Each structure stands twice: as structure tokens, then as C-alpha cells.
Chains A and B, each alone.
Chain A
């Protein structure tokens, strides 16, 4: 077992699946040329290892996804990289009206086994380059949506995503690429659709995913010093969403905070809170709380960006409030 970065874990998954299946290809902007492979280095070296199978594309996200869909229909398994999730908006029609329509609308005659890899993230890049659309993706029937928080999950889920017969939106995160974690040397898969406990605790359940899993783990350490033991349910897959694990945890702790990075209104937190109160109202000792991003186009200024994004301290504050019955 070795400690590797999230970035390296993704690269290993890509490599292993390309070795395993010659129909797997990688297409995207600068996945070959830029700085040795990919704007964020995920595909570094793969073009050399797999000649002709890793290709730079024009800047035309609508076509990166659209051509990917067609190639998947035609028998390939493309992994299409959208440089950051902000540019997925250019491809939104292809994702929603095409990738997510084929299988059902054509009554099972067409399948679209493709992966759309794209990172969330921020870093003083301002309003057009610091967005999070997890909730939008997760609201679309017929897409599968994955958002791993750790190198282990990143590798196992990407391998599953590539083998999956449906279009999978694979949400990475700029702030996670350089984080490290243990990844087995031997092959493994993480199944799509299964949440995972990232921490066990009796007092309070945090339901979260992606970067906010890591922030929640940091918050849990602070809270533990105050005697508050949180349980962290990392969803890992946002669609279809694994309510079973969240429910199991709620039955134990009776208190829930949903923590997400994106905007609060219409966020996945709203959906999860609504569903949990429908199925487990009697289990709850407190209203379900949400920690989310503030609803503004992300400003560039350091202090404003910092105020807009949720961090561990916001999770700590929310947990304290809930444990002290302040709601």
C-alpha cells in the first residue's frame, strides 16, 4: 500500500483501464500538450504510453462532450476531460439533452458508456472560474454523478465509471489533486452508488462529499476536543444517492448537518434534508442544518472569496449550534 496523490490515483485508474480495454481513449483540451499533460497534470505521460489514444481537442466543449457521446454510441469508451467544471456549461446541452437522454428515450437501444471528468475548485479565479454545479448534475435523471474525496475513492470510482455503461459525470476537485492517501497496489473497484463512513461518532451526522468531506474531517477533530463526536457520511456518488447509509447514521445520532460547497438555494443539501425528514422525521432531534456557499458570483478579492466559501470553521460553528440547541 502506497501513499499517493489524488492526481496520481486518477492517472493510475486511467492507465489501468486503458491497458485493460483498447476502446478507452482520453480526449480534452491540452490533455497532451500543456505542461506535459493536462491543465492540472492528471493525464501527464499517458499520451506517450498510449499512442493515438490521448488527444488534444479544439476548445469546443459542446463538441468534446458531443463527439464523446457519439463515439460511445459507436462502440468506444471515451473519457472526456473538461478543463474545469465552469466550461461544462458550454456543453450543458450535450450533457442534458443528449448524454442523459439516449438510453431511456430510445427505449434501451442506445447506450452511452462515457465519462466526463471535470474538476470543481477555486483559488482566486473569480466568478466565472470558481463555481460548483454538483446539485445541477445530480438532478438529472439518467446521469450518474460521482465526486470522490480521497485518492482511494478517486481511483476505485474512476475505474468503475469507465466500465459503466451509462454516462458518468466525474467531479474532481482542484483543492484535492495534491492531497495524499493510501491506495492499494492491487486492483480494486469502488462501486458507483455507495456512500462511505469517513469517521464514526455518536452525536451528530454530517452528510457531505468532495472537498467538504475533507473540511468536515478537520472540523471533526476540533469538535472531538469539545466532546462532540461527529459521524461523517461521505456520499461519494451524488446520483443515484445512497440514502441507506445516511439513514443508518441518523438513526444513531438523530442530528444531521448537510455540508456542501455550492450555493445553498436549490443545493443538494436542500434535497437531502427534505428526503431525510420525509423518511426519518421521527428520528430527528433537531432541524436538519445546512452549511453551504454564500449566494454570490465568487469575488476575486481574498477576503471576499474567503467569506463566500465554506470551510471547516463553518462546519464547527454549525455543529456547536446544533449541539447547543441553537437553531
Chain B
């Protein structure tokens, strides 16, 4: 593999790590609010998977989506501005941390209702198949999302219609505080076996292993061999979200998994070992990543709040005549009066 690409993957993982650490700080400073689910520990999955796909392959993920957005090439500026709820964010401050999106980059969004995006991903794959675009859809989800009805409906459908899709489970072994053995009756791969689906287990702490597995799955899809299921075993280094005191996981377990940190591991086992980089180079990369995130924070802080006039934007993509307020045909209620927004145009 190309040296530059390997270094790029390292830098992307580090960018995600530093971005998340600084996001946590910004949350503590109340620059970011609501739910903030950090990706620390799982960086190898997004970076490895994205590196294996074509730029126009479709990606659909859950709310733990900062790493995916960054790996897909969204700027740290746009992602941080979104976390700040500002006009320059990936959705102009509308969606926040859990609903990042960048359709230009075929990143179809973070979805915050567990299991909700799985049928959507199958639909994207079916559209690619029907329209013969040659694109593969990658749908990532957490281990806790493999028990809800849409999971089983989506797997069955994808197999039945031979959809070009990769179901990628980011199996960090917990759904909030509930551990795998409390939420699932069978091992993960057995769930895919129930639909007779090609499946692999992958070391989710090894970026190259993830890359190779996603490559294999994507090739299968492109050859018309249908869906694949990857169980990427991983661990989140922090709580479920910033609201989680993380009291339920065993401290020793956390420490043991931190030993397997995918970022230093990739540096040691690949970059340094193959003499692609020196320690000094690694330091320089870290410095440039830190600067990039610092710049993103400054950018987000300066970005304006979205204008109140945008409140009714895109309620409909196709305007409806006579519409006065937010899809209601009522006169604008002055009793709710702070906003006198009436909107035609984009609704």
C-alpha cells in the first residue's frame, strides 16, 4: 500500500481522537450541549472502512458519527461548528452532534433512533442496484442495535434482494450500560447466520484489518454477491455520552482495552516498524492535528448562530401555495408571537 495513504490513515485516526478530546472540553465549557457521543477507541473502524470504499459509495451511520464525518472528509471546522450549533455547521446547526451529514460526500447522515437507519441503508443499496450506479452502501451500527425489529427486517430484505450492502457492527460490547450478554441471546455472527449472510469477525482495533474486511465485502457486493456482515469488535474509551458517569463498566476492563489503542498500535506495528516514519514525524503529525482542531474551535466560536428566519426552511422541499406557517394552514399565531415568520419559498 502507498506510504502516503498509510500516513493519511494515521493522521485521520489522530484527528478524530484529538477532535473528540477537545469536543469533550467544549462540552464542559457549555459550548456544546445536548447529547455528545464520542468515538474514542473506535477510530480504526471509520478510518479503515472509509479507506476501503470508493468516494461515491454510500455511508449511513448512527449518532456516534463525528469520526465517520471526519473520516469521510468533512472539515473539522464544519463538524465543530455543527457541535456548536452554528450556521457554518454540516446542517447549519439544525441537527447537532447526532445528525451530521454531507451528501456531497455520500455521507448520508448520523441517525439517532437505534436501528432506524438500517432500512434506509438497504433502500440506498437497492437504489444503487436498480439504477446500476455500481455503488456499495456501508451501514454501521452498534451492537445494541442488533436486537430491534428493523435490524432483522433489514438483514432479511438485503439478503432476499441480494442488495450491495455491508452491515458493519461497531461492537463495543455495550449498549449504554447494558453489556452484550445482557442484551443479546446469541453471539453476533449467529445473527447474520440466521439470514445465511456472508459474515466475518474483525479486530476493530486494527485499522488494516478493518480496511481489508471492508474491501472484501465491497468486492463481493460489486461482483453481485450481495450483502455482507462484519462484526468489528472494539471498545469505547469513554462513557456512552458526556452524560454517562461510566460507573457500570469494570475499571480493569477499560484499562485492558486502552492497552489496545488502535492509534499507537498502528504507529508501532506499521508506520515505525516499516520505517515509514520517525518519532519526530509522529510528533509533527500530532502538532498539525492539534492545530487543525484548535483552528476548528476558533472557527466554530466565530460562526454565527443560524438566523431565526431559517426556522421554517426545508420543512418542505417543494413549496405549497397558501402556506403560512410551518405546514399549518392556520394564521400565524400571534400568541406564540416571538416569531412572526411567514414563509413561502422553501417552506
A residues near B, CB below 8 A? 29-30, 33-36, 39, 56-63, 86-87, 89-90, 123-129, 257, 264-265, 289-292, 294-297, 299-304, 307-308, 310, 313-314, 317-318, 321, 326
* CB under 8 Å from chain A, chain B span 66-113: 85-86, 92-99, 111-113
- In the complex, residue of chain A having the shortest beta-carbon distance to the beta carbon of B313: A296
Say which size band chain B's interface belongs to.
Answer: 35 or more
B339 near A307 with CB under 8 A, answer: yes
* CB under 8 Å from chain A, chain B span 278-323: 305-306, 308, 310-312, 315
* CB under 8 Å from chain A, chain B span 322-347: 325-328, 330, 333-339
* CB under 8 Å from chain A, chain B span 162-176: 175-176
B327 near A126 with CB under 8 A, answer: no
Cα(A58)–Cα(B178), bound, Å: 8
- In the complex, residue of chain A having the shortest beta-carbon distance to the beta carbon of B305: A303
- Where chain B touches its partner, the secondary structure class is loop
**B51 CB to nearest A CB, Å:** 30
Cα(A294)–Cα(B116), bound, Å: 25
Known contacts A57-B183, A307-B311; can you find 18 more A-B pairs with CB under 8 A? Answer: A33-B182, A35-B247, A87-B114, A126-B95, A127-B95, A128-B98, A128-B111, A129-B35, A264-B333, A265-B327, A294-B339, A297-B315, A299-B94, A301-B92, A301-B96, A301-B305, A307-B308, A307-B338
8 A-B contact pairs sorted by A residue (CB < 8 Å): A126-B96, A264-B336, A291-B333, A292-B333, A294-B326, A295-B327, A301-B86, A304-B311
B residues near A, CB below 8 A? 33-35, 85-86, 92-99, 111-116, 144-145, 147-149, 175-179, 182-184, 240, 244-245, 247-248, 305-306, 308, 310-312, 315, 325-328, 330, 333-339
**A266 CB to nearest B CB, Å:** 9
- In the complex, residue of chain A having the shortest beta-carbon distance to the beta carbon of B334: A321
B177 near A33 with CB under 8 A, answer: yes
A300 near B93 with CB under 8 A, answer: yes
B112 near A128 with CB under 8 A, answer: yes
- In the complex, residue of chain B having the shortest beta-carbon distance to the beta carbon of A308: B311
Cα(A292)–Cα(B114), bound, Å: 29
**Chain B residues in 8 Å Cβ range of A318:** 335-336
- In the complex, residue of chain A having the shortest beta-carbon distance to the beta carbon of B32: A124
Given contacts A124-B96, A129-B98, contact A302 B148 (CB under 8 A): no
- Where chain A touches its partner, the secondary structure class is mixed
**Chain A residues in 8 Å Cβ range of B148:** 58-62, 90
Cα(A297)–Cα(B116), bound, Å: 17
